[in-house]
A and B are shown apart, each in its own frame.
Chain A
């Protein structure tokens, strides 16, 4: 991090982009600032809806290439996440939520890998808050609906624990399930996206800064930054996919815990 304040030979100093650097909004209506991030979020909705409707519309028994791709994607969330985690009996009604979450997050994350766009939407925390809150409300609602108000007891009093440990365990369970869970759920996504975004930005502006230097030695070091940044870029692409998967997998696990609170 010290390198970030490398003094430049030609006088100016390197100012890295920070977590609070934002592009100017596209336009503003009253207090509403329409930014690039919002445009990307809305674009993702259009792309996902368009792609999957186009893929599913024909519904042929022997799928074409597009339909096959759509079915692969849909079947992945439906079976590998929904069915395997929630169980074959109850998973069907949660498939739309899991499916929408996965592709909404995936596409908004992958924006970070596309040159010129290069902005994962969830590097802004608000969207992550919203999705985690939505999931939080849903799994608690599911728990109450499936088990009644007894659900809260089931959720915080683990079975098979001796009574004298309970005073210790119950507060931990309350905090971990009802307080920490939505925070980690949202911040995990947000933090990884922001970090990845920042790394790319810092590397990019670092390269730009180094290339502009007089000294050929310093110019040369930009190659190293480029190599490192490319590796990080690959890693980020992996993390973007992984985080979308993790978010949805956790959602499925939370819902499963709420549906089958009795057996936990």
Chain B
């Protein structure tokens, strides 16, 4: 770059001038984007919606049991189960990818999950399972299920608790989250919240 010796409004910056501009810019941006921006957003967020800002945490009998946005392993006969997780429901295991659509490993994986869910110890589910219930999710931490994938688990939960199929059907139907606006989103059940509501009913 030519040295900025030429007079006039459009003279070029000198090499030192460029270096100074780049470094000062970097320092200013560091303060702005690393400190001021997240600081301001966090300050406002914690006033406007502290629950969401804090991670939508769920407590049961005073204990932090999880986040309503994060699935956990609920594989007990008396609970409704989440979708299977390739990361074993842990942030520490990253986000493993499911097999490709035509990979034979996919059919094997789904088949294994179906067998496991249909015959768990002494508990059997005879109705066919929704693919949602037995397939890995995008995040490996999806806490939600489509209603039919929850309803199909009722025979197992009924057999493992003293609750009737009729009662559990109403119970699940009452916990379906419907879209807040018509045509936005889908109807689904947050399985962790459902099980937390179930626990007092079965004395746990």
Q: Do A and B come from one complex?
A: no
